[in-house]
Amino acid sequence: MSDSNPYGPISRLNHWVLAAAMIGMLGFGLYLEYSGLPREAKRPLVSIHRSLGVLVLILGAWRVGWRLFRGFPRAIDTTPAWQQRAATAAHWILLMGILLMPVSGIAFTVFRGNPLSVFGWFEIPAQAEIPWIVSTASFVHTYFGYMIVAVVVLHAGAALKHHFIDRDATLRRMLFGQ
Ligand code: HEM
Ligand code: HEM
Residue 123's DSSP bridge partners are 117
Task: State how many domains the chain has.
Answer: 1
What angle is formed at CA 57 by the lines to CA 99 and CA 85, rounded to 5 degrees? 30
Measured from the alpha carbon of residue 145, the closest ligand is 2
Residue 14 in any domain: the answer is yes
Which of the listed residues 17, 30, 31, 32 should we mutate to test ligand 2's pocket, taking the one with most ligand atoms within 8 A of CB? 32
The answer to whether residue 4 is domain-embedded is no
pTM equals 0.95
* CATH number, domain with residue 146: 1.20.950.20
What are the tens digits of pLDDT across the range 63-72? 999 999 999 9
5 lines ligand 1 (CB under 6 A): no
With a CB cutoff of 8 Å and minimum separation 6, the contacts of 46 are 32
Q: Is residue 148 within 8 Å of residue 89, measured between CB atoms?
A: no
Domain residue limits at 141: 9-176
In a domain, 1, yes or no: no
* CB-ligand 2 contact for 110 (6 Å cutoff): no
> Is 69 a member of any domain?
yes
Question: Does residue 78 belong to any structural domain of this protein?
Answer: yes
Once rounded to an integer, what is the mean pLDDT over residues 72-88? Answer: 94
Q: Is residue 116 part of a domain?
A: yes
